[in-house]
Structure 1
Amino acid sequence: MAAIGFQNFPINTNLAPGVYFDVDATNANAGTAPQRTLVIGQMLASVTATAGVPFLVTSYAAARTAGGAGSMLSLMLQQYRKSDPTGEVWCLPVSDNGSGTNASIAVTISGTSTAAGTLNLYVCGTNVQVGVASGATAATVATATAAAINALIDLPVTAAASTGTVTITARHKGIVAGDIDARINFSGTPAGESTPAGLTVSVGSLSAGTGEPTLSFANLGDTVYDYIITPYGDSTSLAATTALLNDVSGRWSWQTKLYGHCFGAKKGTSSALTTFIASYNDQHLSLLGINDTPVPVYLVAADYGAVCANSLRVDPATPLQNVVMNIPAPPRASRFLLSERNTLYGVGMGATRANDAGQVILDRSVTTYTTNAAGAKDTSYRDTETLATLQFCIRSLDSMLGTKFARKKLLADGTQVPGGSNFVTAQSVKAEIIAWYRARALEGVVQNPDTFARNVQAQNIGQGRVAVMLPIDVANQLRVLGISVQFIKS
């Protein structure tokens, strides 16, 4: 019997003369799994998308058509593309909760303008400018303001004027979809913004929406989605994503092998966020906390997920820190101090900071996992990069082993394995794994390959089964440089 193995050619039984070639690609596979993003968002009624059925998005125009102009879904996709312009993106459209209500906020205008000017009303972060003539009444300005808002069909709101009041209403029902914001002269004097003389403009309190949609992931099937972006921050919705990704029966389970990570966002003060995050403990969920930004929280989630996906797709171990985001910075008084950010990282919430140019910077991304099953403090899954690195390593090793050993015979340890043969031993499998690990170490994804080689185990446990123990040492991220400045005066 030939020692060299063939995939298809029956060298021992073919009697016809000739030269025969059996092409074998088991040593040539260098492919990588697709790293898709799934954006979850609400769609408007009477659009082309089907609720609960994911679809590939090739452009913002396609998302706009599918979800509707001004829909949460289309706006999240538009925001996502600002930070990840080339990644493969799918959308999961969700219908409004029929029992929910729409959020609204009232802007009250009083007085009569005594000079011409421009009203700068920021609606969900967009500056809606309204020209005001001298002598314009409050009712006239309110009507013009409502018309200007409605002319911007990609805003997530509509507006109606009554005497001197503009009522701004969310297009969607629900709590998160109702995160609408209205501010006067947000950019202030440096941007030349001021209320026209003679007018007074005040913004009322938000009348919050109610009723979040029910999430269903039944139609995701076995399609791989590495980065899942949820707009929702309620316990029911987050429980659904936890169930989707869990280690026992979800996408991280041994039998499913789909993996993935969920990204979301939450608005609030550091104190409120600390209280909120205490209810969550999921290594497959990373939430970004931010306070008082004028854009809806679902756009923060979309941008956060995009920034992380764009970085992790290139290198899963590169730190998710010091990355510029594409959302407006909160007012200076609302930005988190270092002490507040430090507290948030310890309890499982990511955070941002802002530079002098007003850019929002992702300061650190962490998962919500903080304690183990016994309730003890556990930092093993703190960093989002750790899960991304493990996912990369598992996928890479799975591809290598599945390609090289897909049709091999397993013999006892100690059997000599000639090159090109179609049989292996547990120790030859181990040797391939060590070589794979050394290659990953050269990429800077894992470390200490010699220690790995000494400790990795592969055991032939009979009946064609090999049990392997992988002591993977993932790369760390450079977080802190502590420098003692010991100066002298001579």
Structure 2
Amino acid sequence: MGILFNNIPGAGLVAPLFAFEVTSGGSYQSASRLLLIGHKNTGALIADNTPTPVGSAQEAVALCGAGSMLAEMARVAFLNAPTQETWILAAPATGTARVDTIKVNSVPAGGGVATIEIAGEPVQVQIAAGDSVNTVAAALAAAINAYFNALTGAALSVAATVATDTVTVTARHLGLIYVDYDFYVPTVVAGNAFAGAAVTITNTVVPTGSPDLSAALAALGDDPFDWIVSPFSDATNIARYTAAMNDVSGRWAYNRQVYGHVFTTAAGTLSALTTIGLALNDRHLTIHPRLPVAAGNPTPAWLAAAARTARIVPWLSDDATGNVSRNQKGLVVQGERPPRDRSLVPTYAGRNTMLRSGISSVIVNTDGGVAIDKIVTTYQKDANSQPDETFRDIQAMGQLVAILRYFRAQLSYEHGQKALADENPGGLGALSPPKSIQAPLVHAADTLENRGVLENARGFADRLIVQRNSQSANRVDIMAPIDRVNPLDVIAANAMLYSQYRAA
């Protein structure tokens, strides 16, 4: 084959010259980004609707403000994926802020310790002998505003004020997302001075409103953001996710190919969640389930979405060792607490129903840890409304991104800036006949088979079609039939018991 130069002319050089042209032979390295969409505190440094990289939970606090939704999302994301490339995007909040009151009705004359859990975080107040209800209320408000969990770095996404014996707690951000923000007086804490009728918690203002994420999603442009966490699951924003990710004009369109997958949350009974899932059919959307308010969800929606997604993203982004293809069941989610009413946690039958309806599932371990069960997309039917599980597993989306990017890179290394001809009898480096374009794809399939991303590379080579377009002399068309590796979800065994084996 002729040697191809990019800078050294192939003809016309007469004067003596000994020259080396330095070019790249191509060295592919996969990479992925996790993007968290949420709210910042008023006056925080980060600009609205601007994707911004962060390297730690502390940096997110500096940019978004302590206790902000985004800072807390980043915190749990780094708990689950410490080295993942993570970006944040602040979307302006709209609507009405949730307001709750905590009225201190009585305190023990001899003092003690009072505990209330807010979003699963234990806020404690030391009561001295003789303290009045007004004094305790003031101490509680101060404790809420100053709360910081030194072990986990958690802060509260609410602010408190006090008037006489009543603490007023206001959400840091506007919006319906706070609808099941959790307040709970634990009774299992020995001697809890707030137990019983000592305090009365009342939700005085129900939150309303959802942010308009149009500008936030548009701000992504064509930058690569493979995994996007946005806890806002109202119908309008779900439609925006579909518009932003779609295969015709969105991030998955042939003329953009920047990809992306949105993870959001929805809360409700099994029936309600199933209804939500069956109304959707989008392979670029995943819904993390949460139980209804009655179950008591200590972990807010935005933290559950960020924590669960971050827990699986390192595997979904690993196309080198086969992790992208693995069953994810049992991965314990850091930073999420289970619902208090375990009787409402779906059984196997319930989880199976949700999964078949396009809703993902989690489990609660005996030690109270929340763990991944199975993560799916909402895709259930093909364009003809026929059942189709091709894009059901979230692994399929991770594999697809890995395969397409690797294929594109290999084709670019081998055939970028070339000329197209049916044959290349002179072996010129500047020409690429269709037959030679097959080679890097076959080699790429072999490599990805060895990495556990796809299988049956030989079958791929047999079925691969590369041909010149009959209408355009400058175009090559490729049919690349990919057989992906599947997660091992079910092992079914028949344990047949004998009193004694029959004689052979």
TM-score interval (norm. to shorter)? over 0.9
Determine if contact 2:107/2:193 at 8 Å carries over to the other structure: no
Distance (Å, rounded) in 2 between the aligned partners of 1:206 and 1:80: 32
Determine if contact 2:185/2:195 at 8 Å carries over to the other structure: no
Match of 1:376 in 2: 386
Match of 2:339 in 1: 330
Q: Are 2:429 and 1:428 equivalent residues in the alignment? A: no
Distance 1:422 1:350, change over 3 A: same
Q: Are 2:77 and 1:71 equivalent residues in the alignment? A: no
Offset at residue 177 of structure 1 (A): 4.1
Distance 1:275 1:202, change over 3 A: farther
Distance 1:197 1:34, change over 3 A: closer
Distance (Å, rounded) in 1 between the aligned partners of 2:375 and 2:12: 60
Determine if contact 2:31/2:317 at 8 Å carries over to the other structure: no
Match of 1:174 in 2: 175
Offset at residue 342 of structure 1 (A): 0.9
Name structure 2 gaps, 5 residues minimum. Answer: 149-154
Distance (Å, rounded) in 2 between the aligned partners of 1:486 and 1:112: 64
Offset at residue 433 of structure 1 (A): 1.0
Spell out, residue by residue over 1:434-471, the C-alpha distance to the aligned partner (whole angstroms, 9 max, x if none): 11111111111001112111111000225121100000
Q: Specify which of 73, 77, 90 is matched with residue 80 of structure 1.
A: 77
Spell out, residue by residue over 1:206-239, the C-alpha distance to the aligned partner (whole angstroms, 9 max, x if none): 7421121211123222211111110201111121
Q: Specify which of 51, 56, 80 is matched with residue 54 of structure 1.
A: 51
Find the residue that maps to 2:219 and give its secondary structure: helix
Determine if contact 2:64/2:70 at 8 Å carries over to the other structure: yes
Determine if contact 1:456/1:469 at 8 Å carries over to the other structure: yes
Distance (Å, rounded) in 2 between the aligned partners of 1:417 and 1:330: 71
Match of 1:139 in 2: 134
Distance (Å, rounded) in 2 between the aligned partners of 1:304 and 1:356: 18
Q: TM-score, normalised by structure 1?
A: 0.92
Find the residue that maps to 2:443 and give its secondary structure: helix
Offset at residue 134 of structure 1 (A): 4.1
Offset at residue 55 of structure 1 (A): 1.4
Offset at residue 421 of structure 1 (A): 2.5
Match of 2:450 in 1: 442
Match of 1:209 in 2: 207
Distance (Å, rounded) in 1 between the aligned partners of 2:330 and 2:278: 26
Offset at residue 365 of structure 1 (A): 0.2
Offset at residue 148 of structure 1 (A): 1.0
Find the residue that maps to 1:222 and give its secondary structure: coil
Distance (Å, rounded) in 2 between the aligned partners of 1:316 and 1:198: 49
Distance 1:11 1:20, change over 3 A: farther
Offset at residue 178 of structure 1 (A): 4.9
Q: Identity over the aligned pairs, expressed in percent?
A: 31
Number of residues paired by the alignment?
A: 480
Distance (Å, rounded) in 1 between the aligned partners of 2:498 and 2:129: 68
RMSD: 2.1
Distance (Å, rounded) in 1 between the aligned partners of 2:195 and 2:491: 52
Match of 1:305 in 2: 309
Distance 1:238 1:146, change over 3 A: same
Determine if contact 1:444/1:475 at 8 Å carries over to the other structure: yes
Q: Report matched runs for 1:474-489 at 5 Å.
A: 474-489=484-499
Q: TM-score, normalised by structure 2?
A: 0.90
Determine if contact 2:229/2:306 at 8 Å carries over to the other structure: yes
Distance (Å, rounded) in 1 between the aligned partners of 2:375 and 2:204: 30
Spell out, residue by residue over 1:289-344, the C-alpha distance to the aligned partner (whole angstroms, 9 max, x if none): 02232121011111122112122122322233221102011122232211111111
Spell out, residue by residue over 1:100-145, the C-alpha distance to the aligned partner (whole angstroms, 9 max, x if none): 1111223343234144322120001110011223444433332221
Q: Report matched runs for 1:75-474 at 5 Å.
A: 75-97=72-94, 100-152=95-147, 154-185=155-186, 189=188, 192=190, 194-195=192-193, 200-205=198-203, 207-215=205-213, 216=215, 217-291=217-291, 292-314=296-318, 315-326=323-334, 327-331=336-340, 332-413=342-423, 415-416=424-425, 418=427, 421-461=429-469, 462-474=472-484
Spell out, residue by residue over 1:155-175, the C-alpha distance to the aligned partner (whole angstroms, 9 max, x if none): 100123344433321111101
Offset at residue 473 of structure 1 (A): 0.5
Find the residue that maps to 1:119 and give its secondary structure: strand
The worse-fitting range, judged by mean Cα deviation, of 169-178 and 471-480 is 169-178
Distance 1:470 1:192, change over 3 A: farther
